[in-house]
Structure formats: structure tokens, C-alpha cells
Chains A and B, each alone.
Chain A
Amino acid sequence: MEHIISLTLENKFGSLSRVAGLFSGRGFNIESLSVAPTLDPSVSMMTIVTSGDDRIIEQIMKQLNKVIDVIKVVDISENEFVERETALIKVHTRPEDRAEALRIADIFRASVLDSSPTSYTIEVTGDVRKVQAIIQLLQPLGIKELVRTGRIAIAREPTRHAQAQPRPLAKAN
């Protein structure tokens, strides 16, 4: 099963290779990986999409925790979360296809970043299904280049607190 793991790690030389090396050395899957610094420049956030049965995911979590540069590990996909991925798609467009390409971009609320007589560069952001869907639709036109950021995800805040809050207020009144 697919899992999205969120890592807080030291923003140090070699940290990325320690995490990546762990996955290759122990034969775990990485479907996508993205990493960037956080508000605290000494810390990076990494989002890893991986897959495996419960036993493998348990090992992945434990092994990641064991890496000394890793500060915190959370399996985001255990609870409610939102995820996004951005893709830049350079579509080859013959004159008769240009309108169709724009129409598809419009349907997916994607934007055109660059245009040349024979191509459009389209930016799309969404969950993984949306990104895959637009790629599928654009493919018949001819995709010249495709760059994806990999998926990033963040846990949803629990909604219960918001509902519970009015109660003490009502009491006070």
C-alpha cells in the first residue's frame, strides 16, 4: 500500500544521501521524494512517497528514525492529509492542436507559462490523479518534456476543536 512519509531532518551536507542510501541499501521503494528548507534554515522537510506492506512500512519508519540526521518522522497518510504536486509539461502543438491544448489546460485550471509557435509549456498543480489525468489528455498531442516536483503533503488540522469551542462560550453566557 502507498504511504506518504514526512521527514524533518538536519539541513546538512550528506543528509539527503543518508536517507536515499537507506532506501536503496535496504531495498525499500521510493516513488517520489521532494526536499526543501523550512522556516528554520537548519532544518529541511522531506516528503517521501513509498509503498509496502505493514511490516515493511514499520521498518521504513523505524529505520528513518534511526538515521541521526532525521529529527522527526510522520506517516502522513495514516490520517487525513492534503497533497499536491506540480508538473511542467511542454506540449508539442501543431497549428490544428493549439486550441485543444489550451482547452485542456483550461479544464484543469492549468496555466500556460511559455508559448512558442510549435509548443506550449503548461503548469498544473493538483493531487496525483489530476496531474496524471492532464498528462493522459495531453499525450496524444505529443509531450516533448515533462518535469514533476514529486508529491508534497501536509496533515489536515483536526476539525473537532473548532466544533467544541462554542460550548464553554455558551456556558459563560
Chain B
Amino acid sequence: MQLTGAEIFLESLKREGVDTLFALPGGVVLKIFDVLHQQKDIRVILTRHEQGAGHMAEGYAKATGKPGVCLITSGPGMTNVITALADAYMDSVPMVCFSGQVPTGMIGNDAFQEADNTGLSRPCTKYNFLVKDVNDLAQTIKEAFYLASTGRPGPVLVDIPKDISMDKGEFHYPKSVSIRGYNPTYDGSKWKIKQAADAIMKSKRPILYIGGGVQHSGASAEVMELAEMTQIPVDMTLMALGAFPGNHPLSLGMLGMHGTYVANMAMHYSDLVIAVGARFDDRVTGKVAEFCPTAKIIHIDIDPTSIRKNIHVDIPIVGDCKRVLIELNNILRATVNGNQREQRKPWWDQLTAWQQEHPLAYTQEPEAQIKPQYLINRLYELTADRDPIVSTDVGQHQMWAAQYFKLKNPLTWLTSGGLGTMGFGFPAAMGAQAAFPGRLVLCIAGDGSIQMNTQELATAVIEKLPVKVFVINNRFHGMVRQWQDLFYEGRYSCSQLGNVPDFVKLAEAYGAAGIRIDKIGDVDAGIQEALAIDRPVFIDVPVYQYENCYPMIPAGGSNHEMLLEDPPDLKKPQSTHQQASQAGSDTVLTA
């Protein structure tokens, strides 16, 4: 069957089961868009910026576990999507990005809207392709999806020159692929797994440290079985939230720089750390030299480069988390004797003591400005029974959401962990909503972050993606302000944002709904009102500006040395009464 490159592109995507494509056209991809216009199998969502298309594909992928797909044009289209590719690479998000390229004969001639797409994306993709012959296109697309979704998942770029999309070629979609340089190890070494089981049985103070790999591998049930069978407490990284229920009695919550007191103390004083699909990121380890000083470390990960990259590991197991845990659980099931809780009592007594000593805490005076934690906690409590998908941007609000939103299910947490991309949350939520039109999708954003991608309001309205965006509005780059208060004597260099824009009017200007919640008494009603609207909603929540996020391990600090509250010598304005908090008192605005 002779087809044009554009038709081959469409047929290949159909065979990969792609149902949604996030896209923005341009000169060199017009042929492909023309073919897309004449079909109904794939929903094409036109975004307002290529970065938005990239993050939507990521949100789709994080919520479904399937590769997210986006299509963008050459030159600036490509440079705009780079942030999303880099983000997906850091967080191992399966994604296939198709970029247009100038015709093959013009490559390298500095043609209009030409960029070296494969060169630009090489360090931030798992792999990339430049298609030079239309007869290679189907095979290349097959390989791209295979690479993106197997092993440690990641973004793959396929660069399609304009003439390739127009040339005719024979269409034959391969059933399978084999790439000789790519053979991920899925089954862990039996010998090492046995060693791990022995170490677990001998350990007195074990801790499970689970990461995003548990989400990707679908190993939540196996982690649950392991934890319950052996009564081992569970620490989650930012990427793992939801992979183990946050409200489970064995959950200690998130660990790391803004993790719970008990989660970090448990790591520091444990004698056995069982890392599953986590990569010992610097936000988790703190000062490497003092990380887990008394612990033996078991590390299960599909990517050998993650093992011993930052931390010495005693029992490395390269393999898929799910398969390794099934094997490990089989061994342990035959060994555990039922009174694990009894044997671990001293450890659990200690953990409970830590938990009670310093739980997550904030104070919300009844008549004062809304505290961000209060809003997020109420949002969690009011939506818990609806199993929402929650996305966040990056900053203080992200950490508070991670602390207070106790997600129960995997693939419900969309956040930018590794790259820390502000502007990620809103488009990611839209991508998830496109995948699950009937589900409740929340985006918790900051007023700084949200402004990096508000143009996608147009996409949300036109494509009917009714995401609920809660803007935790403190008129600051809050995390920057927190560091300036703690480490730069309160000199607010470029962290004040002013009281613009009016997010309610901004939303309304696009045809979305806008709500403002600025009184503590209106929080519940405001949330309920927003949830009842079947359009996209921006909920602007002006909060107390100077709230700091604790616990906090200062950069380079050790895990057991957490700041738990504002230092006594920290001078900052107190929370004011709510009337005074209206726009007029905002010194930033009136100055």
C-alpha cells in the first residue's frame, strides 16, 4: 500500500493506540495536519504554546501510564517544547514528540524556522530520530513508542522533514522491534533478591523508600504486600505519592527536604533502607556524607546508572520493581512467621513517638487570612471520596500539596519533580483531563507558577477540559521568598509579584469561570461551588503572604537536622485580619 509520509504517520499512531494528540501547527507540518483534519480516530487538541502541548502530553502519560504524544513544528516550535522534554526526561515520563523539520535538501542551510532538532534534544531525550527516508518512517515510529514505554520510560523525539511527510512510500507496520544496543533488565538477580530477603528478616529498623519507579512499573500492590507482610514503614518520594496510600497506617508520608519529621528521622536512624524505584536525589539525601549513617542499603531499580550514582549501595538489584518485588515477596511469604508487628514493636514505638513529637502543623487563626495549608487540607478533605487526579506547579504550594494531599491511588499525582518546572501543573492537568473526561482533575498552583502558562486557558475552554485550578496566591515567588527570609536576611530580590493579574477576570476573559475565596469562612463553600461548575475554573485564593514551608532541611544539611518552624529571630509581618487582607493593604501593589 503506497501512502504519503503524513498518512503513514497517522496509520502508525492508530496502530499504537494513540487517541489524543497535543499539537500546534507550522509551515513544515502542514501536510500532517491536513491528514489529521480528515480523520476522526485521534483527537487533536490545539494548544496555545508548544510548551503547553509538551506538558499536556506528560500529564496524559502520568495519569494513564501510556505514552503521551505531541506534534509541533520546526525551529521555535522545537525550542519551545524542550522544557517539557527535559522535564519528562528527569521524571521518566513516557512521551513521543514529533517535530517538523525543513526539507531534507535544506537541512543545515539555516533555512527559515530551521533548528537542529536532534542536536537540541539529544541531552534531554531518551533517544531521538531524524527520518531521512519515508520508507523508514513506520519502523522509526514503532521504535520510538517502544523506547519511550519500556525499560526506564522517557521522552523520544521523531524529527520529520517536510518532504518526508509528502513523499510516498510503502506502508508496512512492524509487529515487533529489536534494538541491539537496548536490552533492559527486567528480572532481578535471584541471588541478590535472596540476599535482600535475608537482610529484611535480620533488620530491626527497616524502612521502605519508594520512588516514581513504583508508579511506572505498576508495583503498588506488591509494595503494599511487602509492607504489610513485614510491617515495614513506608517513606515516599515526591514522585511516589499515591503509589502507596498516604493515609495507610504504615505510611510515614513524604521524605526529603520538606518531608515529614518521622519520614526523615526514620531514614536517618534505620538499619536497612529498601529503596524501590527511587534514585537518591539530592533533595532526599541532604548531605550525602551523613545520609543513613547506620543503614545497609538495598536498591531496586531498572536503570543501572541510578544505582551507586550518589550513594553506596550494599545490595544492588537491577530489574523492574514489580517483578523484583513479586520474587522478593514469594521468598518472604515463606519466611515470615506472622508476628512481625510484635518483633518490630521497639521500632514502631520510636516511629510513633517521632510522629507525635512533630506532626505536620500550622496555625490557622479563625478570623485571620487563609493559610495555604488550611486551603489545601480542606480541598483534600472535601474531594477525598472522588479520587481526584491532582497536579501541581513548583514551589511552596507543591510541597504543601505533597504534605497534606494524602492520595490513595497510583497515577493520580502529576508533579514536576526532577526539573522543577514552574508552569507544569495547569497543562498537565489538562492532559490528564483529556484522558479521563469524567474524572475530577485538580491543579494546585501558585500565583508565580501559573503565570508561566496561563495562555492554555484558551485550550481548556475550547476543548472543554474542566480542570479546577486553585491559585494559592501569596503575591510572591513563595519559595524564593522563604529562602530569602531564612538565608538572605529578608532581602526580597525579585520575589515580589504584586497583586496582578486579577485571576478571576483573567479566567473570565477566556470564557472560563473565576472564583475568589478570601475569607476563611468561605473556603468550604467556595470549593464546593468550584467543583460544581462543569467548565474550567480558576479559584483565586489570596493567602497569608509570609507562611513558610516546614519541616525543612536546609540545602546541604543532614536529614535529622530539620527546621520545624520559623527561627525565633526571623522578623516577618504577622497574619492580619481578613478585612485588612483585601487588595488595598497589599504594600506590593500600592507601592
- Chain A contact residues, CB within 8 Å of chain B: 9-10, 13-14, 17-18, 21, 25, 55, 58-59, 62-63, 65-71
Contacts and interface: CB of A to CB of B under 8 A. Distances in A.
Nearest to A54: B308
Contacts of B305: 59, 62-63, 66
A18 B119 CA distance: 9
A151 to B, nearest CB: 24
B40 interface: no
B181 A68 contact: yes
A55 B308 contact: yes
6 contacts: A9-B181, A14-B128, A25-B123, A59-B305, A65-B304, A68-B126
A160 B127 CA distance: 42
A141 to B, nearest CB: 43
Given A67-B181, A69-B181, A70-B181, A62 B304 contact: yes
B179 interface: yes
B122 A17 contact: yes
B388 to A, nearest CB: 36
A18 B122 contact: yes
Nearest to A17: B122
B309 A59 contact: yes
A103 B362 CA distance: 85
A13 B553 CA distance: 46
B487 interface: no
A136 B311 CA distance: 43
B122 A68 contact: no
A14 B116 CA distance: 12
A68 B127 contact: yes
Contact of A58 (B147, B182, B308): B308
Given A10-B181, A58-B308, A68-B179, 13 more contacts: A14-B128, A62-B305, A65-B304, A66-B303, A66-B304, A66-B305, A67-B181, A68-B127, A68-B147, A68-B181, A69-B181, A70-B181, A71-B180
Closest 10 CB pairs of A and B: A62-B305, A71-B181, A62-B304, A68-B182, A68-B127, A68-B181, A25-B123, A70-B181, A63-B305, A71-B180
B18 interface: no
Contacts, number: 38
Contact of A21 (B123, B127, B303, B304): B123
A59 B307 CA distance: 9
Contacts of A58: 308
B130 interface: yes
A25 B305 CA distance: 15
Residue from B126, B130, B180, B181 with most neighbouring chain A CB atoms (10 Å): B181
Interface residues of B, number: 19
Contacts of B180: 10, 71
Interface string B124-138: 001110100000000
A14 B309 CA distance: 26
B181 A17 contact: no
B118 interface: yes
A14 B118 contact: yes
Contacts of B119: 17
Contacts of A67: 181
A42 B127 CA distance: 19
A67 B182 CA distance: 8
Nearest to B124: A25
Residue from A13, A62, A70 with most neighbouring chain B CB atoms (10 Å): A62
Interface in B301-349: 303-305, 307-309
Contacts of B118: 14
Contacts of A65: 304
Contacts of B122: 14, 17-18, 21
A114 to B, nearest CB: 35
Contacts of A71: 180-181
A18 B118 CA distance: 10
Interface string B167-209: 0000000000001111000000000000000000000000000
A9 B179 CA distance: 12
A21 B121 CA distance: 11
A65 B152 CA distance: 13
A69 B147 CA distance: 12
A70 B182 CA distance: 8
A21 B120 CA distance: 11
B523 to A, nearest CB: 46
Contacts of B179: 68
A70 B179 CA distance: 10
Residue from B118, B123, B303, B307 with most neighbouring chain A CB atoms (10 Å): B123
Contacts of A9: 181
Nearest to B156: A68
Residue from B126, B147, B305, B308 with most neighbouring chain A CB atoms (10 Å): B305
A9 B122 CA distance: 17
A65 B151 CA distance: 13
Contacts of A18: 122
A56 to B, nearest CB: 10
Given A66-B303, A66-B305, A13 B181 contact: no
B139 to A, nearest CB: 14
A10 B182 CA distance: 11
Nearest to B119: A17
B496 to A, nearest CB: 35
Contacts of B128: 14
B156 to A, nearest CB: 10
A161 to B, nearest CB: 28
A43 B303 CA distance: 25
Nearest to B126: A68
Contacts of A21: 122-123
